[in-house]
Structure formats: structure tokens, C-alpha cells
Amino acid sequence: MADPVREEDYGAMADDYATTPPTSDEVVAIDVNPAALAMGRPRAGAGKGRNTPAMSVRFPATMRADIHRRAQADRVPDADVIRRAVAEYLHRHPVT
């Protein structure tokens, strides 16, 4: 039986994954647990979640189409693509 993973091994494993992510040939299966999947936006006032106020943003039609195609390819809502894009931009361009 293999030795258990030690705390200090996680950093090396993360570095290895970042430099050489698995290829489609190496992936044997993807198990999806429906209970772990997001069930959509909660009703207003439901539960004690994070406060995520809405922000209205306008996009040209061509950019909206690109956002929608990316969302369909990733099987996520358009808003997730926009949030990821903004997060990536802010990470690459930190305020100094």
C-alpha cells in the first residue's frame, strides 16, 4: 500500500500540476457528485450567504456572443465567465 501523502508533499504536487497539467489521455474518468453541484442562485433572503450585490455592465453584441460561447463550452452561466475574466484581470493588474 502507498504511503499517505504528507503535508510537505502538497506544495510539490501543486507545482507539478501547474507546470504539467494532466492531458486528456491521462484522465481515466470524471466522477460528478450531483450533490456538490451548484443549484443556481438562491432566493433573495435565503440563508446566510455572502453579500454579493449586483453590478450592471454593458457589452457590445460581439463580446456578449463571445462570452456566451465560452460559457457554453465550459458549461457554466455567462456570469461565471465574466467573474473569472474580471478576477484574472485584477490578478494580473494589481492596484499598487
Distance between CA atoms of 60 and 44, rounded to whole angstroms? 29
pLDDT tens string 19-34? 888 787 777 777 777 7
pLDDT tens string 45-63? 665 556 678 889 999 999 9
Which triple of cell numbers denotes residue 1? 500500500
Residue 50 CB partners (closer than 8 Å, separation 6+): none
Q: Give the pTM.
A: 0.48
Residue 67 CB partners (closer than 8 Å, separation 6+): 59, 78, 81, 82
Where do the domains of the chain lie?
Answer: 58-96
pLDDT band for position 38 (50/70/90)?
low
CB crowding 44-63: b at 16 or more within 10 Å, else e: eeeeeeeeeeeeeeeeeeee
Residue pair 79/64 in contact by the 8 Å Cβ criterion: no
